[in-house]
Structure 1
Amino acid sequence: MPDPRRNISRSRGRPDEPPESVAPTGFGGAMDLAASEAETLERAPGPGRPRSLWSDAWRDLRRNPVFIVSALIILFLVAIAIWPKLIASGDPLACDITKSQDGAAPGHPFGFDTQGCDVYTRTVYGARASVTVGVCATAGAALLGSVLGGLAGFFGGWWDALLSRISDVFFGIPIILGGLVFLSVVTNTTVWPVIGFIVLLGWPQIGRIARGAVITAKQNDYVQAARALGASGPRILLRHIAPNAVAPVIVVATIALGSYIALEATLSFLGVGLRPPTVSWGIDISSASIQIRNAPHMLLWPAGALSVTVLAFIMLGEAVRDALDPRLR
């Protein structure tokens, strides 16, 4: 008869025999298996891991050709705005009146303007003023509008009513008429008066968007749970509401940036925005419009650069909106 003790010893494993692989049994084995699976899921970022809105948006943006093209154009514009000498070695203020309104020549592919200045160099250097006004005005309007609109939506009551009526007053001011009145009395020829005017009339739009986003976000369950656990108002606003209400503000600000660049060019064209010796596309378009029949190249290149820039920022804003809006997925 076989010895039963031999079977028992083999099941337990002897030192001189290879151990047999036995599945873990009992409560301890199940706990170890679950812990190892959880550790594996944490280490390997597989498709089962939850993704945030921002990671999904970035994934969609990388696959969107509209975003890629517009982002490349904007990066190029920012680069030449910071370092215009990368592609233009001349001086935008160096003019030769004997070459007034001449066409393209070697080293001067865009020709010359009325004062004999190189149109190519002035077009390249004009990106600096336009991009500076657009970025700074958008940042100022987004910051001011987000703070005031977010506080109005979070606290409500008389604070909300006061800011709503103030924004209604600014909405009732025609932006071109306001620019003619406000900037006509300013003698400073730098970009800062134009930036201040755009921020002054641009924050109510972003403020309303921020107010609506905060009102929607503060009604969510996680905000109510944080309030029930005793979280303070500033913590709820900054930690739970602001990160979930910033997406609409980013979308509106990105689209508005292109509009602000066009607004700066319009005010400069009317003579109340940027003024010489500042180099601006609006100034060049204004001076070239008089001689459009005799020398159309003076108007073509700065107007084309302005159109491409505004279109690139609007396309970027549309792509960001499509990526951040879950209803469009």
Structure 2
Amino acid sequence: MTATQQADITRTPSEAVAVLGANGHTGRFVVAELLRRGLKPIAIGRSAERLAGARFAERGIECREAAIEDDAALDRALPGAAAVINCAGPFMDTADAVVRAALRAGIHYLDVTAEQPSVQATFDRHEAAARKAGVVVIPAMGFYGGLADLLVAALMDEWQHADGVEIRVALDSWLPTKGTRVTGEKNTAKRLAVSGGELRPVHQPPAEKVSVLPAPFGQQTFIELPFSEVPLIARHVRTNELHTFLSTIALRDVRDTSTPPPQAIDETGRSAQRFAVEVIVTQGELRRRSLAQGQDIYAVTAPIICEAVQRILSGDIRETGAKPPAAIFHAASFLSALGPDLSVETSETSDFQKVHP
């Protein structure tokens, strides 16, 4: 049994949670995590054959067939669920239909998109309806997006604004899933960062940074490549600058068509991949830094999004509507709950103190 499996789950409400794309790579992690937490997953996919191949029924998991483009089928797939987790990308193709189905059913919606256009469209199209229905709609509640949003919010704490926010994502390798590759091919929109207090396309050529991180990373070179965290953070954090950087090692792997998919190294299905997310928030002479580390970006998405669902169903939320994670949850408390799966260290320094000890 892993450290995650040993965690206390006594506060789990007994609710059913639908998982769309349950038979996919991330979806299987999510289903397993829901079971571990005592929640009842409902596995939904477009192919009954593929759902059968995932052997959900052998574990007593109800399976339902539904295609994204079939509203009636989605409606038939959601009864009995208190929330739906969408793991079926590309989310530019799936999120809108599933959010609308969730709103028709009066249930909560979460997804794991790394796509900026999908996040923006979810907020723009569904905030009013979600708030009116009294449900929570959270896009990008995974490694890309939600994790950085929570890390930034925890660092901001009492600060009302920041001069700058910088996020650096280091992966010792990136063995992409088929879904990641398909999304990368379809996501041709210009990537956005915050510059001068406004959302703007990333400058070309993109900026580079160098940072020294703990083992196994050491000195890393990063290139500006923002994901879904930018529209999340920009939604509720006042900052002049917001930029995200990805390690060139990870970028090389994901761009190489010969890079294989993730390979499981244990009974949970996790790969050996290690990640580190460095977040730096500055205000005047003050600099706050957070470093989150863990194993397997796809696997760690499961405890992140399932912790969110668990808190929503238990009523541990600040408000409803279509909002970023940090607007719904208390960031520091949320990150602390991920302790078995995520190591987070924080620090604060003053540039003035460095120059004038």
- Name the larger-Rg structure: 1
Give TM-score, length-normalised by structure 1: 0.25
Give TM-score, length-normalised by structure 2: 0.24
Which structure has more RCO (C-alpha within 8 Å, separation ≥ 6)?
Answer: 1
Which structure carries more helix by proportion? 1
Which structure carries more strand by proportion? 2
